[in-house]
Amino acid sequence: MRLILLALLLSTNLAFSQNYFNYLGTLILNNNTPISFKLELIEDEGIVNGFSITNIGTKDETKSEITGLYFKTDKSFQLQETQILETKSEAPINTFCYINMNLSFQGSFRSKRIEGDFVGNFLDSTKCASGKIFLMEEKKFKKKIRKIKKKIEKMSPEDFENTNLIQQTRILKDGDDFSINTTNKKITLIIWDANSEDGDKVELKINNKIILHDFETKNKRKKIKFKLNKGENIIELKAVNIGTSPPNSSRIELVDRKIKYPIITQLELGRSVVIKINKSPEN
């Protein structure tokens, strides 16, 4: 009986020596792009294991293995993603960005949150991203979201006058095309490189007119406003080169008054994608 009791006490003490962390929030890239982010970790005597999830609830949702260290003296973490465990994304594996994090607890006991910096690298160790991380306990985060949803449900239609509707992100590859319909006279196109600047260059044509020639995409956004013709308007984006980290990848955002269409292009050298904008008469 004493041996059984001793074994139970030892297993209980071992269980209580582990700490569990379940935090939810966002990554903020240096160009202010937010990415949903979750951490589930187990810490045992300073050794941390677990997983992260990015782009939660989207077709790019990705689960990655996490390893690292926890320093009790200053309540901080050093963590890194080591491998992809699951992903819904169809992007090539060499385009995935693995992040290294330096995080610490902030705030009072009741409002405890995790914040810090991160740097992302491709498999070849090339830097692909950097920015900030802001997380809070998942149950507290979801409680705040529920409160926000209740406020939105009480809003009148007039309250949405200045609200932008963001459509699902589209991934366009060699030869793909994408169509939208509008009654607006003008539209805005924004193009940039959301990852590390690796020398990707593109050619942009609108209605067969070259707007950007041998243009190198960078983290700074390039904004182009243009007037639409009646009927079909054609935007063609072509890869002039593939930079140092193939494929040639760009982020595009089409802003149609209050609707935003986010697009990711992934192109091989000399290949292109087409975006068709069908302009119909205003009512």
Point out the least confidently predicted range of 8-12, 118-122, 259-263.
8-12
| Predicted pLDDT of residue 89 | 87
What span, in angstroms and rounded, lies between the C-alpha atoms of 189 and 202?
Answer: 14
| Pairing outcome for strands 222-227 and 186-192 | antiparallel
HSE of 57 in the Cβ direction (CA atoms, 13 Å)?
6
Q: Is the model's pLDDT at 103 over the cut of 80?
A: yes
Name the segment(s) of the chain with CATH classification 2.60.120.
163-279
Architecture of domain 19-140: Beta Barrel (2.40)
pLDDT at 77 over 60: yes
Write out the residue limits of the CATH 2.40.128.30 domain(s) in the chain. Answer: 19-140
CATH of 163-279, one of 1.10.260, 2.60.40, 2.60.120, 2.130.10: 2.60.120
pLDDT in tens, 226-283: 999 999 999 999 999 988 888 898 989 999 877 888 898 999 999 999 999 999 876 5
Tens of pLDDT, residues 168-198: 788 898 888 889 999 889 999 999 987 778 8
Per-residue pLDDT averaged across 69-84, rounded? 92
Please count the CA atoms within 13 angstroms of the CA of 164 that sit on its side-chain side.
12
Average pLDDT over residues 203-232: 92
- How many percent of the chain have pLDDT more than 90? 42
* Res 111: pLDDT: 59
> Which of 87-96, 107-116, 254-263 is the least confident region?
107-116
pLDDT tens column, 43-69: 998 999 999 999 998 888 999 999 999
- 120 three-class SS: strand
Helix runs in the chain, H state only:
2-16, 138-153
What is the per-residue pLDDT for 108? 65
Average pLDDT over the chain, rounded to an integer: 84
So what's the pLDDT on residue 191? 93
Asked whether the predicted pLDDT for residue 156 surpasses 70, the reply is no
pLDDT, residue 158, reads 52
Of 246, 251, 241, 264, residue with least CA distance to 220: 251
- pLDDT at 154 (0 to 100): 65
Q: Give me the pLDDT at residue 112, please.
A: 78
Q: What confidence score (pLDDT) does residue 29 get?
A: 86
Band of residue 13 on the pLDDT scale cut at 50, 70, 90: very low
> Strand 201-206 to strand 231-241: parallel, antiparallel, or no bridges (unpaired)?
antiparallel
Q: In which element (H, E) is residue 194 found? A: none
Chain centre to alpha carbon of residue 251: 11
Confidence (pLDDT) at 206: 94
Q: Look up tokens 């982010």; give the residue.
A: 37
CA–CA separation, 159 and 182 (whole Å): 23
**Confidence band for 160, pLDDT divided at 50, 70 and 90:** very low
Q: Which two tokens stand for residue 283?
A: 């009512």
